[in-house]
Amino acid sequence: MIEAALKYLTDIGRGDVAPIPILTDDPRAEHYLVSGEIHNCTKEPSPRSHTVKTLDDLLAMAEYAEGLNTPVVFFNEGYVVLVFDWGDHRIEKASFLLNWSDPWKTAQKLGQWMESKTLIRLLRVDLRGCLPDAALVDTIRKVKFESGQTATVETTRTRESLGKELASKIVTAADVPEWVTLDIPVYSNLGETDRYPLRCSLEIDALRSDPFQFKPFPDEIERVMQLAVQSIGERLRAGLPDGVSCYYGSP
Residue 227 falls within a domain, yes or no?
no
| Spatial CA neighbour of 126 closest among 222, 74, 58, 200 | 200
Residue 107 falls within a domain, yes or no?
yes
Amino acid 155: pLDDT: 41
Amino acid 17: pLDDT: 65
Residue 180 contacts by C-beta under 8 Å, 6 or more apart in sequence?
A: 131, 132, 136, 199, 200, 202, 214
Residues 142 and 187 in one domain: yes
Cβ atoms < 10 Å from Cβ of 205: 13
| Spatial CA neighbour of 202 closest among 129, 148, 122 | 122
Residue 191's alpha-carbon distances to 92, 169, 186, 187, in angstroms, are 25, 48, 12, 9
Residue numbers of the domain that contains 205? 102-217
Residues 113 and 194 in one domain: yes
Pairing of strands 72-75, 245-248: parallel
Residues 92 and 106 in one domain: no
Residue 224 falls within a domain, yes or no?
no
Concatenated DSSP letters for 89-107? T---EEEEE--B-HHHHHH
Residue 223 falls within a domain, yes or no?
no
Residues 143 and 240 in one domain: no
Residue 75 falls within a domain, yes or no?
yes
Amino acid 113: pLDDT: 96
224 backbone φψ class: left, alpha, beta (φ>0; ψ -120 to 50) = alpha
Residue 222 falls within a domain, yes or no?
no
Amino acid 90: pLDDT: 82
Residues 38 and 56 in one domain: no
Residue 223 contacts by C-beta under 8 Å, 6 or more apart in sequence?
A: none
Residue 110 falls within a domain, yes or no?
yes
In the chain (251 residues long), the average pLDDT of successive 10-residue segments reads 51 61 78 77 79 95 80 96 87 95 98 94 95 84 68 42 49 76 97 97 88 96 98 96 92 89
Residues 140 and 191 in one domain: yes
**What CA–CA distance (Å, rounded) separates 183 from 106?**
13
Amino acid 154: pLDDT: 45
**What CA–CA distance (Å, rounded) separates 224 from 222?**
6
Total of domains in the chain: 3
